[in-house]
Amino acid sequence: MKSVKNLLLTLTLSAFTFGAAQETITNESVVQMVELGFDDYMIIDKINTSDVKFDASITALGAMKNAGVSSEVLSLIMDKSKQNTMSKTGIYYTDVSGEDKLVQPSVFSGANSNQVAQKLVSGLINAKQKAQLPKTQSNNVIRQSQPEFTFIFDPSVTQVDNMQNNQGSDAGIFNWWFRMASNPNEFVLVKLTVKEKKNLREVITGKSSWITSSSGIDPKYALNFAIEEIEGNKFKVTPDSLEPGEYCFIYQGQVPQGRENQSVFDFSIQ
């Protein structure tokens, strides 16, 4: 009788797999398999042979344990979650369908040439230094007023910095912010001013006069966001409700020697 039950479960799992060849296994998928009566061996095999997207926060793991997921499966979920985040550093947002989308960075452009924020146009008296981005709207469009972002940092400082070996690759260019920083507090969220006639967006990055000067984002322009640690290198960031407009996260931490902070992680709220 037991062998018949195992056979039926195996056939059910096979049908489950065939019917969703491109399926990504999530916390909910694992709970569903437990409720269907799959044993640990079947669940572990399914996880090991599928794409996965797990929430390994303490709250999520507690909910799965309460749903009957075994310690062995929970341990595998934690390992898979760590492996999945190590190679996918960056900032992500969750769209209306629940999918994670990477926030692609945009490069500053000056009035006449491509320069970093500190080298942009300024006047002589009470001048404002402005970082400018091309176009009036970001390519990263978010259609909700209070989006959730996921910040993923490189957990291993012993790995070779992609910037040193892949000068021309997107991976190398994109990687260093998330090796230098260890949490979202090293970024600031600001709203960009849209200049329709000039077809650009800009933010004030410094002020100067005959006697004083300052650089960086003025704290009064920084927007609040809540931070929740999911894992040691993975955080959920939730800003206060945002009105429609253009925004960006700007890295404010240490810049590695030989590098310039020329990019921001911009997005549009619609």
Average pLDDT of span 177-187: 86
Query: What whole-number distance in Å separates Cα of residue 160 and Cα of residue 231?
Result: 22
Q: Kindly report the average pLDDT of the chain as a whole number.
A: 76
Residues 107 and 64 in one domain: no
Residues 46 and 134 in one domain: no
Q: What is the rounded distance in angstroms from the CA atom of residue 84 to the CA atom of residue 116?
A: 33
**Is 6 in the same domain as 101?**
no
Q: Are residues 165 and 244 in the same domain?
A: yes
The domain boundary, picked from 25, 60, 86, lies at 86
Contacts of 1 (CB under 8 A, 6+ apart): none
Average pLDDT over residues 100-108: 86
Burial track 101-125 (b if 16+ CB lie within 10 A, e otherwise): eebbbbebbeeeeebbbeebeeeee
Residue where one domain finishes, among candidates 86, 121, 150:
86
Count of domains for the chain: 2
Q: Specify the amino acid at residue 236.
A: K
* pTM, full prediction: 0.62
pLDDT at 79 exceeding the cut of 90 = no
Supply the range of the domain harboring residue 46.
2-86
